A and B are shown apart, each in its own frame.
Chain A
Amino acid sequence: MNTIAMKPVSVTNDVVSTNRSPKVISRGVKVFYGEKEALHGVDLDIHEREVTALIGPSGCGKSTFLRCMNRMNDVVEGCRIEGKIEIDGDDIYDRRIDVVQLRARVGMVFQKPNPFPKSIYENVAYGPKIHGIASGKEELDEIVEGSLTRAGLWNEVKDRLDKPGTGLSGGQQQRLCIARAIAVSPEVILMDEPCSALDPIATARIEELIDELRENFTIVIVTHSMQQAARVSQRTAFFHLGDLVEVGDTSQIFTNPKEERTQAYITGRFG
């Protein structure tokens, strides 16, 4: 299976690498939960300042792979990872890499909006504070305003920065979480089904935002909606049963997939 899955990877990588350089390189990534192998060796390159969508049916390992990139799987008991993931040439599972610094470089937005039960301001200022990014109050204010502006939330909340973040609507909460993530100026932002708890209008707003953020960040998004993958991403990777089946330019994956399983999934024949 692995050999089948690897072929299209190398092919498409050759095509696209002329376009942009890989920001994240993963080779032979296997994940075990206890005895169970959840990922069977994934080779995937994530390109800089592009949106890469990870699609596939539930339980295919796309979220697991996403959480490998900021080592959030470390928190899960009994989880073991093999293989290699490099960000800008640094092996993130190397002993010398501090997970705290890694997560400052790789931000994450979760499926359900999870603002802290603090004020809107404190939510955004949280990351800069723990990493000591701002040297003073003014700089912190600037970071908060900048992040909220880039998350498209500033105009809605500028008059109530001291109100609790949990009081916002679902879509606003998710944009607050995005602002919180970009406040520490990460290089990569991971999004784990960021719109699955939101209504269509809030979803459209977040999708727009993802498109804008592509200017400055490398984004990896896990999504169950193939329309969403088609709308926001430049590259798409299809996972199935713990294998990376196919990866390529989004237009190619959705119009002319090379693998039969990809074809079957995107046309809705299984999943």
Chain B
Amino acid sequence: MSSTLVLAALLLMMLASFAVGRQRALATADGHARTLHSRPPYYGTYVAMWAAVPALLLLALWVIAQPTVIDMVVRNSLPDDVRTLSSDKLSLVLTTIDNLANGRAVVGEPPAYAKEAAARLLSLRATSSWAMTVLVIGLAAVGFFFAWRKVNPALRARNDVERAAVWLLIACSAIAILTTVGIVFSMLFETLHFFSMVPPQDFFFGTVWDPRFTAVGRDGSAGQFGLIPLLWGTIFISLISMLVAVPIGLLSAIYLSEYAHKNVRAWVKPLLEILAGIPTVVYGFFALTTLGPLFRDLGASVGLDISATSALTAGVVMGVMIIPFVSSLSDDIINAVPQSLRDGSYALGATQSETIKRVVFPAALPGIVGSVLLAVSRAIGETMIVVMAAGIAAKMTLNPFDSVTTVTVKIVSQLTGDLEFNSPQTLVAFALGLTLFVVTLGLNIYALHIVRKYREQYD
């Protein structure tokens, strides 16, 4: 039986055990549900849990381990001269065996040992499948009977079910956290691999970015991987985008939360948040096709040389993208400032603008700084807009009309196309990614710290 069928059978058993467990609980209490420790559905869940969970775990383990184990057995059964082949050739042989077993076409006449191995592979798979079915269903039955026998009015089924629910939640959070940890570690290992080829000081303090793609694979032409020009490009563009997003976002937040009539607010706030829902690639081609040429023509008309892909274009468009981010967060924070503070200020004869300037804004400032920092980390990680609008030349320039490039753009360009993952040209992407990750993580932690500190003030 295939694992899908086994799974389906298990689910059916689970439903049946629920019904049986519930009935059994009622039967042991002679139909008087009040004499049971827990409500009848808890007993049902209790029995279903015992029937399904251990069996499901076994099933999962089996499905994960089966290919590896079978592969190992087949490999060990191969003739010695084949087993000692180089890893490239061995994997070729294994592929042939796999193809034979699955009935796919094989080039030429396969050797006898391969046919033999293919047959063994098939029989092993069949055996494993049967064993799995029997063991999993058996375990489910054992679990079911164990729980079924324990059902009686004194059994604290509710407590056990609640505890199991907590474990389920813990398992889900653990998966989320472990994924993050896994990503970080995979980046870390590739980065270490990269640093074994390029010294870290050349990466972190190098001022020239020239990975020399054309020379990939040739000896003695490692290229130069200076992080500084890319980091500067990222910072420069983020700075421009903040110059656009912070004033506009903040002032619109102040308008929305302090001045706007609630009907206006009910319309404007969702409209502003639509901006946040536009895919960044759309912003990217807006920058590429509309704003870039516009800036270039404007610049030409006043005698400025603005290239179509420039830090300015990317920064401005990214700023527009971030406006709803800043305004929405700031609006929430300004709204969280207690009305009593405003009343206190008005009662002293302060005008609305004085109240905002001297009471509301200072009170909200830490939270606003936090929201701006979150926006900055968003800007630093933004990829699509800069790929399309900022250019690809890694330059260290203070001229916003010139094209620059960012860390994210270079990660994209180093990892697109046909690559092999053992040259510094591609591995540098992991080092760049990790650097970016550390920077944004730091900013996020700092931002959350500030936001939290602010929250404590009114509680």
A residues whose Cβ falls under 8 Å from a Cβ of B: 70, 72, 75, 77, 99-104, 107-108, 110, 112, 114-118, 126-127, 130-131, 166, 177, 180-181, 184
Pair B347/A126 contact, Cβ less than 8 Å: no
Pairs across A and B, CB under 8 Å, 11 listed: A72-B346, A102-B349, A103-B348, A104-B348, A107-B347, A114-B338, A114-B343, A117-B362, A130-B348, A166-B457, A181-B348
In the bound assembly, the distance between CA atoms of A104 and B351 in angstroms comes to 11
Pair B345/A126 contact, Cβ less than 8 Å: yes
Across the A-B interface, the 8 shortest Cβ-Cβ residue pairs: A103-B349, A108-B347, A114-B340, A104-B349, A127-B348, A114-B344, A100-B349, A117-B363
Pair A103/B346 contact, Cβ less than 8 Å: yes
What residue of chain B has the Cβ atom nearest to residue A190's Cβ? B347
CB distance from A35 to the nearest CB of B (A): 18
Pair B457/A130 contact, Cβ less than 8 Å: no
- Which of A104, A126, A131 has the largest number of chain B CB atoms within 10 A? A126
Pair B340/A116 contact, Cβ less than 8 Å: no
In the bound assembly, the distance between CA atoms of A131 and B343 in angstroms comes to 17
What residue of chain A has the Cβ atom nearest to residue B342's Cβ? A75
In the bound assembly, the distance between CA atoms of A180 and B338 in angstroms comes to 18
Chain B interface mostly: helix
Pair A130/B347 contact, Cβ less than 8 Å: no
Pair A75/B343 contact, Cβ less than 8 Å: yes
B residues whose Cβ falls under 8 Å from a Cβ of A: 262, 338, 340-351, 354, 358-359, 362-363, 457
Residues on B with C-beta less than 8 A from A184 are 348-349
In the bound assembly, the distance between CA atoms of A110 and B347 in angstroms comes to 9
Residues on A with C-beta less than 8 A from B343 are 72, 75, 110, 114
Pair A131/B344 contact, Cβ less than 8 Å: no
In the bound assembly, the distance between CA atoms of A115 and B362 in angstroms comes to 13
Given contacts A114-B340, A116-B341, A166-B457, contact A107 B348 (CB under 8 A): yes
Residues on A with C-beta less than 8 A from B359 are 116, 126
Pair B340/A112 contact, Cβ less than 8 Å: yes
Given contacts A101-B349, A117-B363, contact A130 B358 (CB under 8 A): yes
In the bound assembly, the distance between CA atoms of A115 and B341 in angstroms comes to 7
With contacts A72-B346, A77-B262, A130-B358 known, what are 10 further pairs, Cβ within 8 A?
Answer: A100-B349, A100-B351, A108-B347, A114-B338, A114-B344, A116-B344, A117-B362, A127-B349, A130-B354, A166-B457
CB distance from A186 to the nearest CB of B (A): 9
Pair B341/A114 contact, Cβ less than 8 Å: yes
What residue of chain A has the Cβ atom nearest to residue B359's Cβ? A116
In the bound assembly, the distance between CA atoms of A102 and B350 in angstroms comes to 11
Residues on B with C-beta less than 8 A from A130 are 348-350, 354, 358
Residues on A with C-beta less than 8 A from B363 are 116-117
Residues on B with C-beta less than 8 A from A115 are 344
In the bound assembly, the distance between CA atoms of A181 and B345 in angstroms comes to 10
Given contacts A100-B351, A116-B363, A117-B457, contact A110 B346 (CB under 8 A): no
- Which of B340, B346, B362 has the largest number of chain A CB atoms within 10 A? B346
Pair A72/B354 contact, Cβ less than 8 Å: no
Pair B349/A131 contact, Cβ less than 8 Å: yes
Residues on B with C-beta less than 8 A from A127 are 348-350
In the bound assembly, the distance between CA atoms of A72 and B338 in angstroms comes to 16
In the bound assembly, the distance between CA atoms of A166 and B344 in angstroms comes to 14
Residues on A with C-beta less than 8 A from B345 are 116, 126
Residues on B with C-beta less than 8 A from A108 are 347
In the bound assembly, the distance between CA atoms of A107 and B344 in angstroms comes to 10
Residues on B with C-beta less than 8 A from A112 are 340
What residue of chain A has the Cβ atom nearest to residue B457's Cβ? A117
CB distance from B454 to the nearest CB of A (A): 9
Given contacts A110-B340, A117-B457, A130-B354, contact A181 B349 (CB under 8 A): no
Residues on A with C-beta less than 8 A from B362 are 117-118
What residue of chain A has the Cβ atom nearest to residue B262's Cβ? A77
What residue of chain A has the Cβ atom nearest to residue B338's Cβ? A114
- Which of B341, B343, B344, B363 has the largest number of chain A CB atoms within 10 A? B344
In the bound assembly, the distance between CA atoms of A99 and B358 in angstroms comes to 19
Residues on B with C-beta less than 8 A from A110 are 340, 343-344, 347
CB distance from B361 to the nearest CB of A (A): 11
CB distance from B197 to the nearest CB of A (A): 54
What residue of chain B has the Cβ atom nearest to residue A111's Cβ? B340
In the bound assembly, the distance between CA atoms of A47 and B362 in angstroms comes to 39
In the bound assembly, the distance between CA atoms of A135 and B94 in angstroms comes to 92
Contact of B358 among A70, A72, A100, A126 (CB under 8 A): A126
Residues on A with C-beta less than 8 A from B358 are 126, 130
What residue of chain B has the Cβ atom nearest to residue A98's Cβ? B349
In the bound assembly, the distance between CA atoms of A97 and B322 in angstroms comes to 44
In the bound assembly, the distance between CA atoms of A126 and B457 in angstroms comes to 20
What residue of chain B has the Cβ atom nearest to residue A103's Cβ? B349
Pair B350/A100 contact, Cβ less than 8 Å: yes
CB distance from B321 to the nearest CB of A (A): 32
Residues on B with C-beta less than 8 A from A77 are 262
In the bound assembly, the distance between CA atoms of A17 and B315 in angstroms comes to 72
What residue of chain B has the Cβ atom nearest to residue A100's Cβ? B349
Residues on B with C-beta less than 8 A from A102 are 349
Given contacts A114-B338, A114-B340, A116-B359, contact A70 B354 (CB under 8 A): no
Contact of B347 among A72, A101, A131, A166 (CB under 8 A): A72
CB distance from A156 to the nearest CB of B (A): 21
Residues on A with C-beta less than 8 A from B347 are 70, 72, 103, 107-108, 110, 181
Residues on B with C-beta less than 8 A from A180 are 344, 348
In the bound assembly, the distance between CA atoms of A99 and B346 in angstroms comes to 9
What residue of chain A has the Cβ atom nearest to residue B344's Cβ? A114
